Chain A
Amino acid sequence: MAGEVKTKLSKNLLRMKFMQRGLDSQTKKQLEEEEKKIISEEHWYLDVPDLKEKESCIIEERSFLRCEDLVYGRMSFKGFNPEIEKLMIQMNSKCKEEEIEENDKMEADVSDEEMARRYETLVGTIGKKFLRKRDQRVLKDDDEDEDDEEGNNTKPSKRAKKMFLKPQD
């Protein structure tokens, strides 16, 4: 009785997502094949010989821009609109600029020497950051010791150890 009920289920119903779990592999395959058949039958194509694409040496161009070397359409003269004047130079010398750039490299804002000098001092400051507090103090002590050797100890020594002062009776 149960088997009869199963056969009565329509194909469309069996194809639904929630029915797929319960299906056995054979019926699944059968359904897939049928589906493929339907797709291939529905697919149609033109029954004509392939068009031979002939490569041509002529390009059609609808724009005057590529024929005549036209300049950019915004202009400003004698400093009326400085923004546009800057843009004009930029737009109208695009091809020239590329050549120039190849010849001499962009002028750097900071010269190499200055950069090296800055780094020299930077190494110390940044290096300090990565040291532990104790090491930092050692470094500082060394510096101050040098100062001490120079002569009078003018600075009230911060590092005078705070000691317990015995109250006087």
Chain B
Amino acid sequence: MAVERGTAAERGTPAETLVGQVVLPGDLLLLPAHYDEDAEGERLRLSAGAAPLGRLLCGPGLKRSGAGLLVTTCGLLRHRPGGGGAYWVDSQQKRYVPVKGDHVIGIVTAKAGDVFRLDVGGSEPASLSYLAFEGATKRNRPNVQVGDLIYGQFVVANKDMEPEMVCIDSSGKSSGMGIIGQDGFLFKVSLGLIRKLLAPKCEIIQELSQLYPFELVIGMNGRIWVKAKTVQQTLIIVNILEACEYMTGEQRKQALAKLSGN
């Protein structure tokens, strides 16, 4: 394997062969020929009348480099066909790096004049303008206190720059963003588990939803907020979600069966 890695780093491996396998930073993935054609080739292809392919999406953990894609984080290489296709690396990291468009849970750490400082788990606190709430005006300020939890979205997230959040969408509606209720329980899990939970038709969520009424807010920064009718019920959900990271599907089903039996 080590020898193979060496060659992979030097010359690159076709991306398709590595899908679902572990990739390491420095690996070079080679793409089918039509992706690294220069402008001239493109023109020829267009003039030939062939339907232009969609653009390839180079997701998190990968970087464009010359002919192919360079791996920057370690994890499993994922691929999604459809459109132009997409490659990304599925990693189990815990450190969150703000990304534009992500929905996260932030904790208000300071009120500084026009903006609130929010701890989102990134390298820097994010800023949130008091005008970026639904129905907020200069006169009508939102009632936000230090320590409140806020579910919001990043609008600015560049490296070397302070990230900026908002609690409204492009049409000015809150659509679920804003201050999260007073009680409930907040805890942290790995970013990989967050993505697992947010996947459509996630088994864990579907199984939990059969138990009893509860509410869940999942932030892409690894924070989860849970609220159920009683503290006990809340803590059960929290424990199950925390344990999900290290449980197989079978074990989880057993644990849930034990709970619903009670």
Binary contact readout A51-63 vs B (1 if CB under 8 angstroms, 0 otherwise): 0001111111111
In the complex, A122 has a CB within 8 A of chain B: no
Write the nearest CB–CB distance from A84 to chain B, whole angstroms: 6
Cross-interface CB contact of A80 among B55, B58, B60, B228, cutoff 8 Å = B228
**Docked-complex contact A73 and B80, CB < 8 angstroms:** no
In the complex, B248 has a CB within 8 A of chain A: no
Cross-interface CB contact of B200 among A58, A62, A65, A92, cutoff 8 Å = A92
**Docked-complex contact B101 and A59, CB < 8 angstroms:** no
**Docked-complex contact B217 and A63, CB < 8 angstroms:** no
Secondary structure class of chain A's binding surface, majority of residues? loop
Of residues 195 to 228 in B, which have CB atoms within 8 Å of A's CB atoms?
195, 198-200, 202, 205, 208-209, 212-220, 227-228
CA distance A79 to B229 in the complex (A): 11
Of residues 74 to 96 in A, which have CB atoms within 8 Å of B's CB atoms?
74-81, 84, 87, 91-92
Cross-interface CB contact of B213 among A54, A63, A73, A78, cutoff 8 Å = A78
In the complex, B187 has a CB within 8 A of chain A: no
CA distance A51 to B27 in the complex (A): 29
**Contacts A55-B42, A72-B176, A81-B215 given: A63-B78 contact, CB under 8 Å?**
no
- List the B side residues contacting A54 at CB < 8 Å: 38-39
Write the nearest CB–CB distance from A131 to chain B, whole angstroms: 45
Write the nearest CB–CB distance from B149 to chain A, whole angstroms: 12
**Docked-complex contact B64 and A58, CB < 8 angstroms:** yes
**Docked-complex contact A74 and B217, CB < 8 angstroms:** yes
**Docked-complex contact B56 and A57, CB < 8 angstroms:** yes
**Contacts A74-B151, A80-B228 given: A62-B215 contact, CB under 8 Å?**
no
Cross-interface CB contact of A56 among B64, B103, B199, B214, cutoff 8 Å = B64
Write the nearest CB–CB distance from B205 to chain A, whole angstroms: 7
The residue of chain A having its C-beta at the shortest distance from the C-beta of B217 within the complex is A74
In the complex, B5 has a CB within 8 A of chain A: no
In the complex, A6 has a CB within 8 A of chain B: no
Binary contact readout B15-42 vs A (1 if CB under 8 angstroms, 0 otherwise): 0000000000000000100111111001
Cross-interface CB contact of A71 among B37, B157, B198, cutoff 8 Å = B198
Cross-interface CB contact of B176 among A59, A64, A66, A87, cutoff 8 Å = A87
Write the nearest CB–CB distance from A123 to chain B, whole angstroms: 38
- List the B side residues contacting A87 at CB < 8 Å: 175-176
The residue of chain B having its C-beta at the shortest distance from the C-beta of A65 within the complex is B101
A residues in contact (CB < 8 Å) with B: 54-81, 84, 87, 91-92
* A-B contact sample (13 more), CB < 8 A, given A58-B69, A70-B198, A87-B175: A57-B37, A58-B55, A61-B58, A62-B100, A63-B60, A70-B195, A71-B198, A73-B103, A74-B215, A74-B217, A75-B209, A76-B215, A80-B229
A-B pairs with lowest CB-CB distance, top 8: A80-B213, A78-B213, A77-B209, A70-B198, A67-B59, A73-B218, A75-B216, A63-B99
